[in-house]
Amino acid sequence: MEASEGSEDSPDRASHTSARTHYDATSTGVTGPAIQARVPPYKRPDHFTKKAKAQGYAARSVFKLEELDQRFKLTRRGGKAVDLGCFPGSWSRYLLERGMSVVGVDLQAPALTGGTWIARSAMEVEAVELGRDIDLFVSDMAPNTSGDRFTDHARQIRLAERALLLALATLRPGGAFVVKVFDGEDAPAYTRSVESRFAQVKRVKPEATRDRSVEFFLVGVGFRPE
Ligand SMILES: C[S@@+](CC[C@H](N)C(=O)[O-])C[C@H]1O[C@@H](n2cnc3c(N)ncnc32)[C@H](O)[C@@H]1O
């Protein structure tokens, strides 16, 4: 899978209907600069998409993890990582390149060597399959978006809750957790549940996240087992 907009999963803040109306203009058979100008910004390759492609990463989202790593010093050579929602594989590849062992979970396995891939829903995977004493547990999981902001938020929070449950069962004391969250009414309660188990939790919107996106990341460091 190439570093395309298809790998950017975040629903747009703007009306889905109006975005689609514009985008459909490209399928009328009319081509040229006038049509290009009507393609919504999030459908055009941007700086991060081009950079991911140039560096051979499967998705532009790799730059979100890279930014979080640079800021919070999350990776370490010889450490153990779990990556939920690992397809098409840019986060896992980054973690492997940083010298970590990786167990990745997604509905399909990425075309990457060097990690252990579990091609199933994270809702069905058991903690014991992910290993123990994990140093870094990341989740970039997102549902297929419907365009209905509330539905997408509710579905995504369920994935984030599953990620937290599995992280709490597998992290070593002091370990770190990164989770994607679609903002919405359940986000504050979810944030509080993460805050209760980590020494420090930050809410971050990485530069590579599009301005219009409703996604943010929670980064928890210093896992405190009960
Ligand atoms: C934004 S993509 C992840 C991109 C990935 N971090 C990368 O850099 O290549 C979100 C992923 O979440 C996955 N996903 C959605 N629901 C899931 C579930 N129930 N279990 C596991 N993965 C899921 C999707 O299949 C999709 O590949």
What is the rounded CA–CA span in Å between residue 224 and residue 206?
25
Please confirm, yes or no, whether 64 is among the known catalytic residues: no
Residue to mutate, 42, 141, 156, ligand 1, most ligand atoms under 8 Å from C-beta: 141
Domain that holds residue 90: 53-223
Task: Name 12's bridge partners.
Answer: 213
> Going by DSSP bridges, is the β-strand pair 215-223/101-106 parallel, antiparallel, or unpaired?
unpaired
Tell me whether residue 196 is in a domain: yes
Q: Residue 46 domain-assigned?
A: no
Active-site choice (50, 53, 64, 180): 180
pLDDT tens track, the chain, 226 positions? 333 333 344 444 433 333 322 222 222 233 334 434 455 555 556 788 888 888 888 888 999 999 999 999 999 999 999 999 999 999 999 999 999 999 999 999 999 999 999 999 999 999 999 999 999 999 999 999 998 999 999 999 999 999 999 999 999 999 999 999 999 999 999 999 999 999 999 999 999 988 888 999 999 999 999 8
- Decide whether any atom of ligand 1 lies within 6 Å of the 143 Cβ: yes
Angstrom distances, CA of residue 193 to CA of 10, 186, 200, 220? 23, 11, 12, 11
- What per-residue confidence (pLDDT) applies to 184? 97
Structure confidence at residue 102 (pLDDT): 98
61 lines ligand 1 (CB under 6 A): yes
* Cis before 206 (ω within 30): no
Q: According to the model, what pLDDT value does residue 8 have?
A: 45
Q: What is the CATH number of the domain that holds 217?
A: 3.40.50.150
Task: Give the β-pairing of 101-106 and 116-119.
Answer: parallel
CA 203 to CA 181: how far, in whole Å? Answer: 10
Domain membership flag for residue 219: yes
For residue 97, give both structure tokens: 């390149």
Query: Which of 154, 157, 109, 101 minimizes the C-alpha distance to 132?
Result: 101
- By three-state DSSP, how is residue 172 classified? strand
167 occurs within a structural domain: yes
Phi then psi for residue 159, to 5 deg, are: -65, -40
Domain membership flag for residue 197: yes
Q: Give domain status of residue 23, yes or no.
A: no
What single-letter DSSP state applies at residue 213?
B
What pLDDT does residue 59 have?
83
Of 41, 44, 38, the closest CA to residue 26 belongs to 38
pLDDT value at residue 126: 98
What is the phi-psi region of residue 94: left when phi exceeds 0, alpha when psi lies from -120 to 50, beta otherwise? Answer: alpha
Number of separate domains in the chain: 1
Atom of ligand 1 nearest to the CA of 122: 20
Calculate how far, in angstroms, residue 31's C-alpha sits from the geometric centre of ligand 1. 33
Note whether residue 184 is domain-resident: yes
Buried b (16+ CB within 10 A) or exposed e, 189-218: ebbeebeebbeebeebebebbbeebbbbbb
Domain assignment of residue 28, yes or no:
no
